[in-house]
Each structure stands twice: as structure tokens, then as C-alpha cells.
Amino acid sequence: MHFASIRIITEDVARITDFYERATGLTAKRYTDDFAEFMTSRGTLALASTRTVRGLGEQAPRPAANQSVIVEFHVADVDGEYERLKELDMEIVNEPTTHPWGNRSLLFKDPDGNLVNFFTPVTPDALKRFEQQTAEAETAEAKA
């Protein structure tokens, strides 16, 4: 089994796609007005309109209602990203902070209120853990 993606359901795919393009510097593949994806080497962030889940009825995800998931991106320089995002007028939730587990992170919100975390492992233990996780993921993918 391989992790494939996280999908955010939204009322406005164009707006949230534009936001993530500005925030990450990546370019989305826009398949339709209802669906776009950001593909990275570690997974995909998919953005889809509410129209794509209508068939689920009462069980359909509600846009702008997330209270439990944080979308995370590993970046090379959290502090540099913070300076760049401030110029883009992003809603910053938490300025760069080094956490007890060794990651330095920056939290901000996307247009639907979802939390986004840019993080960088900065302590020796965190760097070792991240390198080990990367190696394990690459080994698992090679076996698949």
C-alpha cells in the first residue's frame, strides 16, 4: 500500500488552487474547473469542488469545516518562507517556532481556513529521523 494524496473539498477550486500555487511556488495541474492537483515526490495535494462529492449525500465532506487536519510541506528554510509569505499577505497562525520534537514550523491558513504547516527538521535527532523516514519510504517504493 502507498499513500497517494490528501483531497481538500472546496466551493472555489480556482481560488484555493491559486492560493497553494502562491504559497508553495508549485504549479498545479488543473484538469477541470472542479479538480486540480499538486504532485510532489512524496504525495499529492488534490483540490476538488463540492460537485465531485454530491453523490455522498449527508456523508459528503463539507468545505471550510476542517477542525482536525493540517496540510504539511517539508521546506528547506522555514524562516525564508515566512518572510516570503508575509509579503503575500497570508493569514499567519504561528510564526516560525522550533518544537520539542526538533522541527521548526510555520502555521498559516488557506482561504477555506485549513491549517497549512511549512516545516524543516533542525535538530540532529529530527534531521536523522527525517533522513531515516525518507530512506524507508524509498525502499518501500522500490519493492512495490
- Residues 74-87: tens digit of each pLDDT: 999 999 999 999 99
Distance CA 22, CA 25 (A): 5
DSSP 8-state code for residue 56: G
Mean pLDDT, the chain, rounded, equals: 94
Asked whether residue 144 carries a pLDDT value surpassing 70, the answer given is no
CB atoms under 10 Å from CB of 34, counted, come to 14
Closest-CA residue to 40 (of 27, 51, 31): 27
- Residues 93-116: tens digit of each pLDDT: 999 999 999 999 999 999 999 999
Whole-Å CA distances, 19 to 53, 85, 107, 128: 22, 11, 15, 32
Asked whether residue 138 carries a pLDDT value surpassing 90, the answer given is no
CB atoms under 10 Å from CB of 78, counted, come to 21
